Amino acid sequence: MGLIIALLAAMLMSLTLGFKLYGLDQVWQALFAFDGSETAVVISNLRLPRAVLAPLVGAALAIAGVIVQTLSRNRIASPDTLGLNAGASLAVVVASTAFGVGSLLGLSMSAALGALLTSFLVFAIAAGAGGLSPIRIVLIGVTIAGLGHSIVEMILTTNEAQLQQLLFWLSGSFVDRPMTLAQTGAPIVLIGAALALLLHRALDALQADDSTATSLGVPLALVRGGSFVSVALLTGAAVSMAGPVTFVGLVVPHAARRLVGLRHARQIPAAALLGAIYATLADVAARFIIYPVEAPVGAITAVVGGVVLLVLLKRRAA
């Protein structure tokens, strides 16, 4: 209940704080008694989509982070370090530039497909290179991520028309996103989250090792395949709505485990709420970090996530 209240408070902050500050009465007027004024238009058309998209994206990436860390048995794994965000971004850019895909649903499906193919690629390469060791998976994921980002840059460099349109999106942002993005992305996020919850018992068993999970009756191939699909849907939907908002999937699972423990039946909902709060507060902070100019929210989460990653790596080395 406390996390739900904190999320509602963060969403309210998103509606009231920014270049202009609005009172609660103005927010109420804009949402429930729209009068066509400038204030009502800004709140309902600009602030409200951000207050809805940020929690959706944060929750999706946080759940994906929980699953990825469980599958790889690596606490520094995330959709970013495994290259899933890069794969989803590459798929969106290719779909937009090469195939002229412009619909929200088309871009969402492209991003989900890119994340899914990247997840299969990373784990297939790791398995073929000597086994699914945690360090090997992350190293391969980081390499794939670097390759994906490089290809995206090359494509955009040779397509100037798309460069301006996609450059700010690729840095991760909730600015100027229409509410239709949330309407398209929310069902995909819900499907991915529901699939993750259905697999919660099997994911609990996978935290040990494959032999233990098998002895407990876990069908490894089926569970991993379902988990890959869940991560792909969640990451793809998040990228299609806001671009690659990095390191949410790294930071939030650690907080969720500290809060509720290792059981996925509790860890997944907790991570969803914490991720929603984290992304929303990062979006609010992005409005003031370099005020009056607005910073991409992806830059805020990248700075925090980078510090957390360095701390985790230092602990592992100690």
Exposure b/e, 67-84, CB count within 10 A at least 16 = b = bbbbbbbbbbbbbbbbbb
What's the predicted TM-score (pTM) here? 0.90
Question: Which of 90, 121, 117, 116 minimizes the C-alpha distance to 233?
Answer: 116
Asked whether the predicted pLDDT for residue 318 surpasses 60, the reply is no
pLDDT (0 to 100) of residue 104: 62
How does pLDDT run across 6-27, given as a tens digit for each residue?
A: 999 999 999 999 888 999 999 9
Q: How far is CA 203 from the centre of its chain?
A: 20
Q: How confident is the model at residue 84 (pLDDT cuts 50, 70, 90)?
A: confident
Q: Do 248 and 65 touch, CB atoms closer than 8 A?
A: yes
Residue-wise pLDDT for 108-164, tens only, equals: 778 878 888 888 888 888 878 766 666 777 788 889 999 998 998 888 777 766 666
pLDDT at 316: 64
User: What does the pLDDT look like over 189-210, one tens digit per residue?
Assistant: 999 999 999 999 999 998 888 8
Domains in the chain with CATH codes: 55-317 (1.10.3470.10)
For position 58, what pLDDT does the model report?
Answer: 96
Residue 167: its pLDDT value, please? 67
Higher local confidence (pLDDT), 169 or 287:
287
CA 115 to chain centre: 11
Q: What number is the average pLDDT over the span 164-182? A: 76
Average pLDDT for 70-75:
86
